[in-house]
Amino acid sequence: MGKPTKTIEEKLKTKLSKLREDSNIKVTSKQVKVGKRVLFRYSLKEIAYTKVRYFPSLKEDIKDEDFTAVILLNHQTLKLLSGSICNPPRGVGKVIEMVRHLKPSINKIVVGGEENKVKGNIVYVADDLYSTLVSINKEEGVDKVTRVRNRVAPFLKENYALEGEEEITERNYSLLLQEIIATKKFSQKDIVELTSELEGGDYNEIVIEKQINKQAEWLLNSIQTIIDEPELSTPKAQDFGSRLFKFSKSSISGPEDLMEKILTKYGQDIIFGVPALLNIDKYVVSSTGLSNSQFDLLLITNLSDIEIVELKRPDDFLLDYDSNRGKFYMSKTLSIATAQSERYISALYRENDTDFKIDGKTIRKFIESQVGNTVTLSICRPKALIVMGTIQRVAKLYKDLSAGDKAKVSKKDYEKNLDTAYKEIKASFKNIDITTYSELVEGSRLRLQLAKSG
């Protein structure tokens, strides 16, 4: 039987006792000082370092840094403090330099726990991220030394007749894989293809599934951030697209365009769960040469049928309110979307009609060419899905009604009637489904949870 692991309190006491061996250091029940300068304050939960650093082997043994550091104590972070704990680990300074490169105002770092975030002038770094960043820094440092040695080798040979074999740096490929994953510039299919050469086994399957779930959560959280914005202007859409998805701002013409880009790139598996998703950026043109319709997205369903996705703004209202009649009705935007969807469905029924073409091909031939003829289409009952607004803002909020409108209806009745009207409109079309972005996200979250528990 192995030796029992020491508790955090026992490990901390051991490290503090070693500090007492230095006569310049004074250890009290809550803090550690050198002379009158406080090095750090401590408890069983954390060590909070001041800006003061102590180097007993140097002539100037006390120096001031320009940042403070907090180490949240657990068995993993205690390993970072393997030497003397009078100063924070060297890696702390390296990590804060990395963050300061992009946010110079950072003056405090908190290491440990599970959160990675920047709040004010504080950067929080979880255990695993800290380890990754320090490992990258260490590996690049070794790599730099090796490159320098190899470059100076010819000069040493020519001038001193000193010759050795070329040095090679061993690269940590698991760390490199983490870096690739962190870029988020790949899809679930990329992950599976990347690992397709691995030997089969439960462990590999778990790793792949875990990373797919991680990407799904990132996508859903990012979309949620966008749709939570009540007034999504074009500048805001461009900012979200650039910050969350690394799209160029100039490529985003507005909120609808942003959502189309996101769902085109990431929506097939996580959001819609279909065999194929196409972004049709060409018009269906009639034999008269006039534009007939342009689909936003086409989904090829699990039944090999077609579902058209018509995307509208996340901050649009689906319903308007007539205070005189006390009734809700479809907003202008939703009415236009349903009319467009009906026209698109009619066009799909004419899949083989040479009078309706996309890029010079019949609708069927064009779609088949886009999926590489790998899917046999069975266009029997094409449908349309309209996505717009959020469930929290199906119509104008009661608090935003005019005083006159509020006098005619109570908040309770307004919201009850709104809920009923939304359900009725959703059920009123035969081949058109209406949903909000928030319902789309929550449905995806549900599928993700079921997949995890399955």
Per-residue pLDDT reduced to its tens digit, 24-40: 999 998 999 999 999 99
Task: Give the range among 155-159, 290-294, 346-350 with minimum mean pLDDT.
Answer: 290-294
> What per-residue confidence (pLDDT) applies to 399?
93
In this prediction, residues 387-398 reach a mean pLDDT of 94
> What per-residue confidence (pLDDT) applies to 200?
53
More confidently predicted of 368 and 92 = 92
Residues 124 and 110 sit within 8 Å (Cβ to Cβ): yes
> What per-residue confidence (pLDDT) applies to 4?
47
CA distance linking residue 215 with residue 212, whole number of Å: 5
Report residue 407's pLDDT band, with 50, 70 and 90 as the boundaries.
Answer: very high
In this prediction, residues 211-230 reach a mean pLDDT of 86
Task: Give the range among 260-269, 367-376, 420-429 with minimum mean pLDDT.
Answer: 367-376
In this prediction, residues 11-23 reach a mean pLDDT of 90
> What per-residue confidence (pLDDT) applies to 291?
53
In this prediction, residues 205-216 reach a mean pLDDT of 64
Task: Give the range among 172-176, 213-217, 367-371 with minimum mean pLDDT.
Answer: 172-176
Strand partners, 433: 385
CA distance linking residue 62 with residue 89, whole number of Å: 16
Does the pLDDT at position 295 exceed 90? no
More confidently predicted of 168 and 94 = 94
Report residue 383's pLDDT band, with 50, 70 and 90 as the boundaries.
Answer: very high
Does the pLDDT at position 122 exceed 90? yes
Report residue 1's pLDDT band, with 50, 70 and 90 as the boundaries.
Answer: very low
φ, ψ for residue 42, nearest 5 deg: -145, 160
Task: Give the range among 63-67, 200-204, 353-357 with minimum mean pLDDT.
Answer: 200-204
Mean confidence (pLDDT) of the chain: 84
Residue spans per domain, the chain: 8-125, 205-453
For 302-321, what is each residue's pLDDT tens digit?
888 889 899 999 999 999 99
Does the pLDDT at position 400 exceed 90? yes
> What per-residue confidence (pLDDT) applies to 413?
95
CA distance linking residue 237 with residue 43, whole number of Å: 45
CA 230 to chain centre: 21
* pTM over cut 0.75: no
CA distance linking residue 262 with residue 264, whole number of Å: 5
Does the pLDDT at position 329 exceed 90? yes
More confidently predicted of 410 and 150 = 410
Task: Give the range among 237-251, 285-299, 420-434 with minimum mean pLDDT.
Answer: 285-299
> What per-residue confidence (pLDDT) applies to 253?
92
At 215, which helix (H) or strand (E)?
helix 202-227
> What per-residue confidence (pLDDT) applies to 227?
94
Report residue 50's pLDDT band, with 50, 70 and 90 as the boundaries.
Answer: very high
φ, ψ for residue 343, nearest 5 deg: -70, -40
CA distance linking residue 190 with residue 321, whole number of Å: 47
In this prediction, residues 69-93 reach a mean pLDDT of 87
Give the Å distances, CA to CA, from 59 to 62, 321, 381. 9, 78, 84
Does the pLDDT at position 204 exceed 80? no
Does the pLDDT at position 422 exceed 70? yes
Residues with Cβ within 8 Å of 109's Cβ and at least 6 positions away in sequence, in order, are 67, 68, 69, 70, 92, 95, 96, 99, 122, 123, 124, 125
Does the pLDDT at position 2 exceed 50? no
Report residue 454's pLDDT band, with 50, 70 and 90 as the boundaries.
Answer: low
CATH entry, 205-453, from 3.30.70, 1.20.272, 3.40.50, 3.40.91: 3.40.91
Give the Å distances, CA to CA, from 388 to 255, 273, 337. 11, 19, 10
Give the Å distances, CA to CA, from 71 to 76, 98, 189, 436. 11, 18, 38, 44
Report residue 185's pLDDT band, with 50, 70 and 90 as the boundaries.
Answer: low
Name the residue among 296, 312, 314, 310 with its Cα closest to residue 225.
314
Strand 68-72 to 46-49 pairing: antiparallel
φ, ψ for residue 315, nearest 5 deg: -100, 15
Beta strands in 363-441 (DSSP E): 383-387, 432-435
Burial of 416 (0-12, 13-18, 19+ CB in 10 A): exposed
